[in-house]
């Protein structure tokens, strides 16, 4: 529906907006529109507008209709959000650029658009990124952001640490099982998305990571989320740390899915008399749980092993599944 709008050249836009707002005449329910160098500012009462302004009628969008990247493209782009950063997975740089521009020009609160430039690599599971576009006022480094997940906030730099927003639901599934008073070890803690919610539920938590940058963020995130007193962040190889916390853990999270089996001896060192193990694995869809279960049974000498849950987290690659085994170990 056409709305009354004050029409001014773009250069006069901000001054006019302020004057109309000060006079209480700016129609906040509708969006300001730019068209060919001219600004249309919707107003609530055209008769009250000063005669020095030109008032015209035109169609302007309702303000609560957020403009999405798809509104600016002829397709619906695929992207993930991590704080005020958007993440793409595009092979074609021109298409990546078009999507990045559309994201930055949309109403999304995004400061930078990154494209995956490699797979996650090495022990630290960090990947390379291309910065496709960033707003002019974006702080450096543009790869650092604050991500919010289930009420917790995580400061992290994607260029130095591993983090995947896709695992939010899975982390919540696991951390919701934690009861106050438990002693929990996150053997591969990253910036803390398991360790911090576990501590917030009243557990005493030890988080270990080989990546010094991840451990710095883990400490900072423990502070930000008010759990510094009950979360100990340790930098190192968890195989070297395990003996310090031998027989200690009521719960262990092992989120290093490509090679968790190599760390089962350390997990058994950490486990107390009764311990719940959350074991992540990536296996062929034909038998996604069998290899992990066999490896756990072989490592857990002296324990009864009960698999409580066989859970598919997500599809990882064609015919490959990321899975989690929730296992009860009883000595
Ligand atoms: N749990 C975190 C999350 O969900 O974001 C991080 C998971 S990431 C897949 C695995 C983490 O294990 C990385 O941060 C990596 O640095 C760490 N890591 C790899 N080898 C390790 C080792 N031997 N000891 C401790 N941490 C290790």
**Helix ranges restricted to H, 123-248:** 168-175, 195-200, 212-224, 238-241
Residue 280: band (very low, low, confident or very high) from pLDDT cuts 50, 70, 90? very high
Of 256, 257, 261, 324, the residue with max ligand 1 atoms within 8 A of its CB, to mutate for a pocket test, comes to 256
Task: Find the range with the poorest average confidence among 19-33, 99-113, 272-286.
Answer: 19-33
What's the rounded mean pLDDT across residues 235-247?
Answer: 98
pLDDT at 154: 98
How far out from the chain centre does Cα 15 lie?
38
Q: In what order do the strands lie in the sheet with 304-317?
A: 231-235, 204-209, 183-186, 249-254, 271-284, 320-330, 304-317
pLDDT for position 189: 98
What's the pLDDT band for 12 if we cut at 50, 70, 90? Answer: confident
Ligand 1 binding pocket mutation candidate from 168, 197, 209 (most atoms within 8 A of CB):
209
Report whether the peptide linkage leading into residue 300 is cis, meaning its omega lies within 30 degrees of zero: no
Running DSSP on this structure, what letter comes out for residue 98?
H
**Reported confidence tier of residue 22, pLDDT bands at 50, 70, 90:** confident
Which residue's alpha carbon is at the smallest distance from atom 6 of ligand 1?
A: 190
Q: What is the pLDDT of residue 29?
A: 84
Identify the band that residue 18 occupies on the pLDDT scale cut at 50, 70 and 90.
confident
Over residues 199-207, mean pLDDT? 98
Among 122, 147, 185, 188, name the best residue to mutate to test ligand 1's pocket (greatest count of ligand atoms within 8 A of Cβ): 188
Termini Cα distance of the chain: 72
Distance 255 CA to ligand 1 centre (A): 7
pTM of the prediction? 0.81
Query: For the residues 208-233, what does the mean pLDDT come to?
Result: 98
What is the model's pLDDT at position 227? 98
Q: Which of 240, 312, 325, 241 is nearest to 277 (CA)?
A: 325
Residues with CB under 6 A from ligand 1: 123-125, 162-163, 167, 188-190, 193-194, 208-211, 214, 237-238, 255-256
The mean pLDDT value for 291-319 works out to 97
Query: Is the pLDDT confidence value at 242 over 90?
Result: yes
Report pLDDT for 1: 78
**pLDDT band, very low/low/confident/very high, at 63 (cuts 50, 70, 90):** confident
Q: Ligand 1 centre from 114 Cα, in Å?
A: 22
Residue 293 confidence (pLDDT): 98
The predicted pLDDT at position 13 comes to 83
Render pLDDT for 260-271 as a digit per residue (tens, 0 to 9): 999 999 999 999
Please report how many Cα atoms fall inside a 13 Å half-sphere around the Cα of residue 112, on the Cβ side: 21
Q: What is the mean pLDDT of residues 271-279?
A: 98
User: Of 13-17, 48-52, 92-96, which has the strongest mean pLDDT?
Assistant: 92-96
**pLDDT confidence tier of residue 233, bands split at 50, 70 and 90:** very high
What does the radius of gyration of the chain's CA atoms come to, in whole angstroms? 26
Q: What is the pLDDT of residue 285?
A: 97
Q: Of 147, 248, 237, 244, which Cα lies nearest the Cα of 192?
A: 147
Cα 12 from Cα 16, distance rounded (Å): 6
Mean pLDDT of 189-206: 98
Mean pLDDT, range 304-310, rounded to an integer: 98
Q: Which atom of ligand 1 is nearest to the CA of 189?
A: 1
CB 7 within 8 A of CB 55: yes
Beta strands 249-254 and 271-284 are parallel
pLDDT of residue 72: 79
Which pLDDT belongs to residue 11?
Answer: 84
Per-residue model confidence as pLDDT tens digits over 114-143: 999 999 999 999 999 999 999 877 778 999
Instruction: Give the pLDDT band of residue 255 (cuts 50, 70, 90).
Output: very high
Instruction: Tell how far the Cα of 136 is from the centroid of ligand 1, in angstroms.
Output: 34
Residue 74, pLDDT score: 78
Q: What is the pLDDT of residue 268?
A: 98
* Distance from Cα 150 to the centre of ligand 1, integer Å: 21
Rounded to the nearest angstrom, the distance between the alpha carbon of 210 and the centre of ligand 1 is 7
Q: Residue 267's closest CA among 183, 187, 175?
A: 187
Q: What is the mean pLDDT of the chain?
A: 94
Going 45 to 46 to 48 to 53, the CA torsion angle's sign is positive
């Amino acid at each position: 529906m056409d709305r009354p709008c004050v029409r001014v050249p773009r250069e006069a836009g901000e001054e006019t907006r302020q004057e109309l707002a000060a006079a209480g005449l700016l129609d906040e329910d509708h969006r300001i529109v730019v068209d060919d160098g001219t600004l249309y500012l919707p107003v609530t009462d055209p008769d009250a507008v000063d005669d020095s302004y030109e008032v015209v009628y035109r169609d302007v969008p309702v303000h609560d209709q957020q403009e999405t990247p798809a509104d600016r493209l002829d397709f619906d782009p695929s992207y993930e959000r991590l704080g005020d950063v958007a993440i793409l997975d595009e092979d074609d740089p021109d298409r990546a650029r078009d999507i990045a521009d559309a994201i930055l020009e949309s109403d999304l609160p995004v400061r930078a658009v990154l494209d995956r430039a490699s797979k996650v690599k090495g022990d630290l599971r960090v990947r390379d990124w291309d910065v496709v576009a960033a707003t002019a006022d974006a702080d450096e480094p543009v790869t650092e952001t604050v991500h919010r997940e289930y009420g917790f906030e995580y400061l992290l730099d994607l260029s130095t640490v591993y983090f995947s927003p896709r695992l939010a639901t899975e982390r919540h599934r696991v951390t919701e099982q934690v009861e106050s008073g438990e002693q929990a070890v996150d053997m591969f803690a990253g910036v803390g998305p398991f360790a911090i919610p576990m501590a917030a539920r009243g557990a005493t938590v030890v988080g270990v990571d080989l990546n010094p940058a991840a451990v710095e963020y883990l400490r900072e995130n423990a502070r930000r989320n008010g759990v510094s007193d009950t979360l100990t962040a340790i930098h190192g190889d968890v195989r070297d740390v395990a003996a310090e916390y031998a027989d200690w853990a009521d719960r262990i999270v092992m989120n290093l899915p490509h090679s968790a089996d190599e760390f089962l001896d350390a997990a058994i060192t950490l486990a107390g008399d009764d311990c719940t193990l959350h074991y992540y694995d990536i296996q062929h869809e034909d038998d996604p749980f069998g290899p992990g279960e066999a490896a756990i049974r072989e490592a857990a000498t002296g324990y009864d092993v009960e698999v409580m849950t066989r859970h598919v987290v997500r599809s990882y690659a064609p015919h490959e599944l990321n899975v989690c085994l929730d296992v009860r170990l009883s000595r």
